[in-house]
A = this chain, B = another copy of it.
Amino acid sequence: MESIITPQPHRLVSSGSEHPVQSSTPALAGTSDGGSSPPSHHLSTPEEISSFVDQMDTFIFDCDGVLWLGNDTIKGAPEFLHELVAKGKRIIYVTNNSSKSRKTYVGKFKKLGFPAEPDNIFGSAYAAAYYLKNMLNFPADKKVYVVGMQGIVDELAEMGIQAVGAGDDNAPLQETEFENGTLGPDESIGAVLLGFDSQINYRKYAKAFTYLTANKGKVHFLATNEDRTYPISGSIYPGTGSLLAALIHSVNRRPDAVLGKPSQNMMNTILERFHLDPARTCMVGDRLDTDIAFGKLGKLHTLLVMTGVTSVEERDAKKGPVTAEYWIESVGHLRQR
């Protein structure tokens, strides 16, 4: 593995980087007081930006807060991504949103002007399907009980995995159903997979609970992600992690695997599927605790953008749990002008 350090005009690293090829490189930019969280380096000049981009083969982008905010595109982001494609760089979009399949997501990307194919998109629903198929060798004669939405069902179907639940169980529970065995065990269920579900109800919780407890140890317990909240259209609502908390509490057991950011499962799956060289890959995100932590987990380079949830105070916190290697105002600022 070659060093990727470009010594001028600034060395594009900060002290204490987790990246192995940089681990002995002292910081030249920013200040350091010897604390455990080195400061993030600001990509500020055209030369720095150009050098940074040249060092990478692959860019992994978080979506909301990085490429768009709700339905509003971040200024200059589509143009920068088209520049990357023109330079032969690989683009991967990573999202914890499990409500839509990759195929459905392509529509959103194209509508907002971003280059996209299903294979560029790595959603937590796809990650869960990939994990079931390739890591667990999920048996063809078993079914996955899905607490979640169509995106998960579609991704499982693409992998040839049978799913039940989801939309079929959207009807609220009737009182008599407690007593007539509707919610009883089902030997054909081999996994319970929970994702975001705006149609969550007691029927789904009771079924998932029954499958996980009736056939102890034999039913895999998976979740697409654990985001505590779900920001949408300028509001914040309970996220997948909150819906998951109810199921965890009732079965008194953590999921066997959580597939979304910042889990190691998702990173391993991405690295394996795309055969990436971490030393030439950069994770671009707006959240330190998920996106940037996720990039560091895979020993990738990390770039924080300030168009999402992270404040200047959090970015500059010397004692914060996670620091990005680089930061820039927005993805649009990366354009070569």
Contacts and interface: CB of A to CB of B under 8 A. Distances in A.
A173 interface: yes
At the interface, is chain A mostly helix, strand, loop or mixed?
Answer: mixed
Copies in the complex: 2
Contacts of A242: 205, 209, 246-247, 249-250
Interface stretch (A84-92, A109-117, A194-202, A288-296): A194-202
Nearest to A170: B172
Assign chain A's interface to a size class: 35 or more
Contacts of A172: 170, 172, 198-199, 201
A250 B235 contact: no
A236 interface: yes
A310 B141 CA distance: 38
A209 B228 CA distance: 12
A30 interface: no
A285 interface: no
A307 to B, nearest CB: 21
A197 B197 CA distance: 18
13 contacts: A170-B172, A172-B198, A173-B198, A178-B198, A178-B235, A178-B237, A179-B233, A198-B202, A205-B243, A209-B236, A209-B242, A238-B249, A245-B250
Given A198-B202, A205-B242, A242-B249, 13 more contacts: A178-B233, A184-B235, A202-B238, A205-B243, A210-B235, A210-B237, A213-B236, A238-B247, A242-B247, A245-B245, A245-B248, A245-B249, A245-B250
